Amino acid sequence: KPSAAGPGLAGRGRAMGKPMPAGGCGTQKASAAFVLGLAVAILAVLLGPAFTISPRFDSDAGARSPQCPARVTNATLFDLQGDGAGGRPGGVDASAAGVGGSGSQRQNLDFTSARDGRGLSLGKLCDRFVVTFRDYKLVGEHKARLSQRLNARLNETQRSAWEWVDRKNVALKYPTDFGLVAVKDRSVLDVLRSVDVVRDVFADAKMAGRRELLGTTEREHKLALEMVSDSLKPGDILAKGPGRLHTPFSSDRPGEPSRRGRGLISRALSFAQGFNFSSFKRSQIKSLYKPEELWKKGITGKGIKVGIFDTGVREDHPDLKNIAMRVNFTYQQSTSDGLGHGSFVAGCIASVSPGCPSNAPDVALHTFKVFTDDQTSYTSWYLDALNYAMVVKLHIINVSIGGPDWSDKPFVHKFRELVGQGVIIICAHGNAGPDYGTANNPGDEHWSIAVGGHTDDFKIAHFQSRGHTMQEKPFGYGRIKPDVVAYGHQVSSLRMERGCKEASGTSVASPVAAGIAALVASSVPESEWHYKLTPASMKQVLQEGAERLPRESIYIQGPGKANLHKSFEAMQRYEPKVTVFPGSIDLLDQDYMWPLSKTPLYATAMPLIMNLTITNGLGAHGYFEKEPEFTATNKLGEALDVHFERINVLWPWSGWIAIFVQVRDSGRNLTGVAEGVISFTIRSPPFPGEREGRSQRVEVPFKAKVIRTPDRNKRVLWDDYHNIQYPPEYVPIDDLNYRKEMLDWNGDHPHTNFHPVFDALTDNGYYVEVLGSSLTCFDASNYGTLALVDSEGEFHAEEIEKLHNDVSEGGLGLLIVGEWWNKQQMRRMKFFDDNTRDIWTPIVGGANVPALNRLLADFGIAFSDEITTGQIRLGRNVVSVNTGTSIKAFPARSSLFTLDGGLSPVLGLTRVGQGNVLAFGDTSAFDFNTHANLVPSLFLDFVKYTAGVAYPSWFKAGTVHNEAYENGNMKARLPNPSEGLDAKTLKILRRPLECHTNARRPKEMPVAERPLKPEEPVANPVVPDAEVIMNGIHKVEEKVATAVDGLLDVNHALAGPSEEDATSNVGGAMPHTGIVQAYFQRQLFGFLVVVVCLCVLIVWRKVHSGKRSKLRATKNRYTRLRQIV
């Protein structure tokens, strides 16, 4: 640019041989901007995923199909986002709309169960339902047959209230076993279920992965209000309902606050504290498992088909070597990944990137896009994809989804069918840790391979779910999961386009394990696939090669961390066999067998229960040749009484057996170690080409400590029979201030969320037993304390009468820990469920206060409907009460404690006849999963009092009432005495008055058979889906193959798969925010780069400021010279 002094000066400067710098200060600013821009670019490249803002989802634009409004949720991808990782997973944020908001999502409550009075008039709106049929046919045949038979049973109005919904995807070229219908009038559903060709009907549930999807938008909220306004009462608050719970992706440390909004210096300091330069390399999957030795042998995964059910992958991804097939089942017009989740998962299996190589580079990747780029799917999409997976004959499928609803029939049944066809299903165990009782489905099924996560230094990742499975409660004890743990913390894998990034979660560990399985499978010759490459054989070799981690329970790590080379060696010598996990039971191993190892055996105790998983490598189905038996191998073993429950038919490729162990009454004074062997024989039909079936005898060594029967006052009986949880009903969270949770699904068991109490009691010489039958099924003379903690169930009159006699005449101590119950609050927690078009109201509060009041009426004790929050000082302990209940009435000669500054008591101690009774109004101090300030020692004080061992040190600080107490606080009202006594509620909350197998078995006490789960075979052993399986192991495969032969060739179909709409909606994008901890090394490096750039800029500015001064002086001299001239 010309100088301000004019062209003459510039010309003179050039003429004198001293050209002026063109641009002057402008050039300096441009240089400074370039340096800053370079620094920011470097930082952005390094930290991109951690700070990328996820696009907002416009529910009005894409969340609804043309026919029906959006539905919320059934299953979901494990969220690749760090938000909330330090908090409790799942649920919704109550700050959004009543209780709806930005929390994680919950499993939809099953529409197929009876919901009298909850149905809504849909008007012009419609619901879409999955109709499953009893056989496989082309979709056109199903449509014609159903239309003819259904319309023949419907009246004129009903015929116009339903229609067949056409689906468009590649799977529709082949036979299918389901259809999709839209229904406006619910009366059609009952007729639909009665059609002879229909197996069942389910809502076409939406699966949403982003927690933000639970936040009700203004338009959605308005629509829902219009639909249900007639059913709402004054004061009701409508909130978006929960879908299938998914536990959030975890990369932050538990308890750490979000790093968003923190200063650069504080973030840099926190990164530096955990900085580990060696982890740059260790974050590579290849560096941890060292597959190079197998690669040198030509074992690279070649020939193995691995299915990835995710968000797709780009066709020309430079770091994936063999993308054999890409199919789309969503409404989007692309099979590519617009989210990044599918690319990352694929990279964990088969990446060839030098920056993040994986184990099995040559596997044939088959990507099934069942989630949109907004991380949303539908039941019908998944079912079509799973049917197509049988057509293309996949070997392994990775499933990075999960939730607590084990009663989710369409998914469980279809996945189970695939396993029956020989497909290996590898699932994420769940990211709900460090909470207990959080195993996710379908990983908690005995036929799946659930994968937990460990760090690069082989410690269990903090985010991994923990504890036994929940679906066996209260009649039995949960299964041991996970089946193996793999690398899942700060794992480096592929970005969506190119390059690598780091992430954590069991959704990462699952494909890492799938890569190991694929590499091991590729070592099997194709001629041996039919018996060496099966769901059973793969689970067996992974577990055989696993290495146990020190000081971790079997209910946290399963068999241990995966070892690629040991599993490879196990596969080389593999022959079909039956195995049991655990292969031996040694209850003397305190760490590994916790919590069962902390309760020794003794006479008169409730049975010790353990659930063993049987993996049957002999065939897809098998059976017990005779009943299992226990044989003592030492003198003390003869004092044991061992009985069993088992599945009737092992299918697919697996089953279970539960053992119940107790010491005979004659062994009251015995001590030592009891040993024995559990044995049974499994028989299976022959493999293809064989004439005779196979059988195998299995033996499981058993060892346990036996002690003299403890004194009565040292024994605590924990009532589990009256604890009701989700699923299937809407049981709300206990702590209403805990915004990340909505449903109570962790069991309320001393081995799950109340495990700190269990440890405190057993460490102080007490013995905790669990009652899984009614209160009429125990001998009160054996126990010092009966604990009823957070009970939601109803009590029978016989139970009420027996308990009063046991306490007042038998000297039993009674410890009741209640929770909030408030009818108005329960109405506020209503939500409109998009799947069922129903309003869901909690079936109880945090606890069933009306039922507890009926139980305690003869004692003169009653809780109120007041929701109390505050603190109570008991000796040195300051105990938080978080939305508990208060005491309404208490008997004379009692001591009561109120909250600091409160009006209503929350703790009462008294003596009724011969027994001590203690009532407390909140569980927060004892529930590990609420992440409150735990005071398990307080529970110990409670037990000492109720058992008559000692008065608490703080006992005299209470207010003594010599006469019966009646709370006069206007806020503390007595719940309606008849609340919860209607037939519908009693059917759900009052369990049978029976003594099940889990109760003590004295000769005079009959034991009822445990009710089998609905899907379990009964009487004459029939494998589930018997029409498909019992005529031969591969019957479905034959049906599909036969139909395919008359249609299109599979290879031809794969060449041009349809990518057209499946007429459904979308939701949420893969999260990128909050993964700060996972990227701390690169962030620190980026921070250092920025600091260096700034220093260079400062030095540069000082150097050039001197030059500018000289230039200014020269200019002035020229000006003066010109004036002189």
Give the Cβ contact number of residue 1034 at 10 Å.
17
Lowest-confidence pick of 117-131, 418-432, 770-784: 117-131
DSSP class per residue in 907-928:
EEEEEETTEEEEEES--TTT-G
The string of pLDDT tens digits covering residues 970-982 is 889 999 988 888 8
553 noted as active-site residue: no
Q: Which two tokens stand for residue 25?
A: 């200060």
Is the peptide bond between 905 and the residue preceding it cis, with omega within 30 degrees of 0? no
Which position among 83, 204, 310, 408 bears the catalytic label?
310
pTM: 0.77
Give me the numbers of helices (H) and strands (E) for the chain, helices first please: 29, 41
The 3 state secondary structure assigned to 234-268 is CCCCCEECCCCECCCCCCCCCCCCCCCCCCHHHHH
pLDDT of residue 1056: 35
Task: Share the mean pLDDT of the chain.
Answer: 78
Q: Does position 324 have pLDDT exceeding 50, yes or no? A: yes
CA pair distance 91, 469, nearest whole angstrom: 19
CB atoms within 10 A of CB 179: 22
The two three-digit tokens of residue 1004, written as one number? 């005079």
Give the β-pairing of 905-912 and 915-920: antiparallel
1032-1056 mean pLDDT: 37
Distance of CA 232 to the CA centre of its chain: 32
- Residue ranges of E strands in 772-844: 785-789, 813-817, 831-833, 838-840
Helix ranges (H only) for 253-318 are 264-273, 279-282, 285-289, 292-296
Helix (H, G, I), strand (E, B) or coil at 849: helix
User: Does the CA dihedral 411-417-419-424 come out positive or negative?
Assistant: negative
**890 SS3 class:** strand
Residues composing the chain: 1125
510 is catalytic: no
Say which of 317, 341, 366, 489 is annotated catalytic: 341
pLDDT in tens, 1077-1088: 333 455 566 677
Considering only CA atoms, which of 303, 289, 286 is closest in space to residue 524? 303
Give residue 142's pLDDT band: very low, low, confident or very high (50, 70, 90). very high
Q: What is the CA angle 665-671-673, rounded to 5?
A: 105
Cα distances from 534 to residues 281, 323, 448, 694, in angstroms, run 34, 23, 12, 16
How remote is the C-alpha of 249 from its chain's centroid? 11
Q: What is the pLDDT of residue 894?
A: 95
Which band of pLDDT confidence, cut at 50, 70 and 90, is reported for residue 1058? very low
Residue 708: C-alpha distances to residues 601, 603, 667, 673, 763 (Å): 9, 7, 8, 12, 18
Return the SS3 of 443: coil
DSSP summary character for residue 154: S
Confidence at residue 1098, expressed as pLDDT on a 0 to 100 scale:
84
Tens digits of per-residue pLDDT, 517-570? 999 999 999 999 999 999 999 999 999 999 999 999 999 999 999 999 999 999
β-strands 915-920, 959-961 pairing: unpaired
- Over residues 832-844, the mean pLDDT reads 71
- What is the average per-residue pLDDT within 600-611? 96
β-strand pairing of 654-663 with 649-650: unpaired
**What's the DSSP call for residue 639?**
G
For 87, half-sphere exposure in the C-beta direction (CA atoms, 13 angstrom radius) is 18
Q: What is the mean pLDDT of residues 987-993?
A: 92
Task: Tell me the pLDDT tens digit for each residue of 669-714.
Answer: 999 999 999 999 999 999 878 888 899 999 999 999 999 999 999 9
Residue 133 near residue 198 (C-beta atoms within 8 A): yes
Catalytic residue selected from 59, 250, 336, 507 = 507
The answer to whether residue 344 scores a pLDDT higher than 50 is yes
Say which DSSP state 171 is in: G
Among 407, 479, 493, smallest CA distance to 448 is for: 479
At position 269, the amino acid (one-letter code) is L
Instruction: Please say if 735 is a catalytic residue.
Output: no
The residues, ordered by sequence, that sit 6+ positions from 181 with a Cβ below 8 Å of its Cβ are 128, 129, 131, 146, 162, 163, 164, 165, 192
pLDDT value at 1120 more than 70: no
